[in-house]
Amino acid sequence: MMSVKEAQPEMLKAEKTADTAPKYSAPALEKGLDIIEFLSRCDTDYTLAEIAAKIGRTKGEIFRMLVVLELRGYVVRVEDADKYQVTDKLFQLGLRRPKYKSLAYIATPLMEVFAEETRYPCHLAIPTGSQIAVITRVDCPDPVGVTVRVGYRQSLLETGSGLCLLAFMSSANRSRAIKAIKADDPWVNVDELEAKLIEIRQKECLIEPSKVMDGVWDISCPILGAGSEGAVAALTVPYVKLVTNPIAPEAVADHLITAASRIAQALTS
């Protein structure tokens, strides 16, 4: 028979396991979230069997879940193929939060003024994990211009909006964002990134070639929140030099700084 003293380590181990185990579980919900989270990270579409294998489930476990997610509009089946992709429904639901509704509501009229003054489009992006997400945009009054659709998502490191957000967000938010970036890409050189962000912070506005489109320059300014909140959004122009509108990028940047300042003032007043 085991003595009380001998049994203590086993008892402590059991208590520790009980403490760290989830108090509640919802297997069906977990399967649905596994599917959505997996597909949201994918650049390609996957079949039922492929999704099951990737998330460590069987086809039988997730078949009905995929059917329900499709009926509710969270995933969609690719036309002429038995493959699935995630929709932007969760993103649209997130935009209904009062915080983002207010930001878009306040910013859009001031963005329209900017577009009228410069004849350039602009869009507003917020940070979400390791990515940016565009929540509103204003097209240019001219028939030619580069625009970014609402709901567009891209890595913080691959966009002017993302680098601007990283540079000007609070240190706590930046630490969380860099942690999320490293989870996606463990090979990111954090020291080089921090040096680049310091350089960006020394300027009011970021101007650099787009990493997504050749011939396009990202011009991006932070929308600063109250106090030490740092950047809550980035106002960005996808700039291309047009024969019909030969305004220099530095001049566009001056107008963008003014627009971003007006939006920040409106948010905090």
Q: Are 211 and 95 in contact (CB under 8 A)?
A: no
- Claim to verify: residue 65 and residue 116 sit in the same structural domain: no
Which residue among 41, 57, 87 closes a domain? 87
- pLDDT tens, residue by residue, 50-92: 888 888 888 888 888 888 888 888 888 886 678 888 776 666 6
pTM (global) more than 0.85 = no
- Claim to verify: residue 97 and residue 187 sit in the same structural domain: yes
226 within some domain: yes
Q: How many structural domains is the chain composed of?
A: 2
pLDDT at 14: 44
pLDDT at 113: 96
Work out the burial of residue 135: count CB atoms within 10 Å of its CB; fewer than 13 is exposed, 13-18 middle, 19 or more buried. buried
Instruction: State the alpha helices, DSSP H only, in the chain.
Output: 4-20, 27-40, 48-54, 59-71, 89-95, 98-118, 160-168, 171-184, 190-201, 249-268
- Claim to verify: residue 39 and residue 127 sit in the same structural domain: no
123 within some domain: yes
* Domain that residue 30 falls in: 23-87
Give me the residues of the chain with pLDDT under 50, please.
1-18
- pLDDT tens, residue by residue, 223-238: 998 777 899 999 999 9
The Cα–Cα gap between 11 and 34 comes to 33
CB contact set of 223 (below 8 Å; sequence gap of 6+): 103, 107, 124, 231, 232, 233, 234, 235, 260, 263, 264, 267
The Cα–Cα gap between 161 and 131 comes to 10
- Claim to verify: residue 234 and residue 143 sit in the same structural domain: yes
- Which structure tokens are listed for 146? 């580069």
229 within some domain: yes
Angle between helices 59-71 and 27-40 (to 10 degrees): 70
9 within some domain: no
- Eight-class DSSP state of 157: G
259 within some domain: yes
- Claim to verify: residue 145 and residue 264 sit in the same structural domain: yes
Q: Are 85 and 75 in contact (CB under 8 A)?
A: yes
